[in-house]
């Protein structure tokens, strides 16, 4: 089954998503979740990271990043998952997910975050 990639957008609107992405390593597990009730886009697809998805080796960097967003490591660890942003509207319109879909984190050559995933079904 082929793999696809999409940018992750909107993280600056959802602190501390940007800090989490700065500390998360390539290959970190992500979840894509359809959000059909989104008032701006019924095709919206959310990108989530589980708290335990950040390896212990990255926790010091994460702690530093979170401080810049006013979130402590204890607060981070209390939540089971964190919302990071969305797949852009144009890409989300051509993707149909059957429930949650797994993906992994990557970065483009400019350092912008990407989600890598297998397409369940294309329209």
The H-or-E segment that residue 89 falls in is helix 89-92
Residue 86 predicted with pLDDT over 70: yes
pLDDT digit string, tens, across residues 99-108: 678 899 999 9
Q: What is the DSSP letter of 10?
A: -
**51 is in which domain, residue-wise?**
3-122
Nearest to 104 by CA among 6, 1, 2: 6
User: Which of 60, 74, 67 shows the shortest CA–CA distance to 18?
Assistant: 67
Predicted pLDDT of residue 123: 43
Task: Give the chain's domain count.
Answer: 1
Q: Which tokens go with 78?
A: 């209390």
pLDDT-derived band at 84 (thresholds 50, 70, 90) equals: very high
User: Does the pLDDT value for residue 73 go beyond 60?
Assistant: yes
Decide if 62 contacts 79 (C-beta within 8 A): no
Residue 120 half-sphere exposure toward CB, CA atoms < 13 A: 13
CATH number of the domain encompassing residue 10? 3.30.70.2330
Cα–Cα distance measured from residue 58 to residue 109, given in angstroms and rounded to the nearest whole number: 21
Is the confidence at residue 120, as pLDDT, over 60? Answer: no
């Amino acid at each position: 089954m082929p793999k696809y990639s999409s940018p992750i957008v909107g993280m600056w609107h959802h602190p501390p998503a940007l800090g989490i992405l700065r500390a998360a390593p390539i290959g970190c597990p992500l979840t894509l979740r359809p959000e059909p009730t989104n008032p701006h886009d019924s095709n919206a697809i959310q990108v989530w990271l589980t708290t335990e998805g950040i390896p212990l080796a990255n926790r010091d960097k994460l702690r530093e990043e979170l401080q810049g967003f006013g979130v402590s490591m204890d607060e981070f660890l209390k939540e089971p998952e964190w919302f990071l942003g969305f797949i852009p509207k144009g890409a989300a319109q051509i993707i149909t997910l059957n429930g949650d879909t797994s993906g992994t984190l990557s970065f483009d050559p400019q350092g912008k975050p990407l989600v890598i995933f297998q397409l369940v079904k294309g329209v």
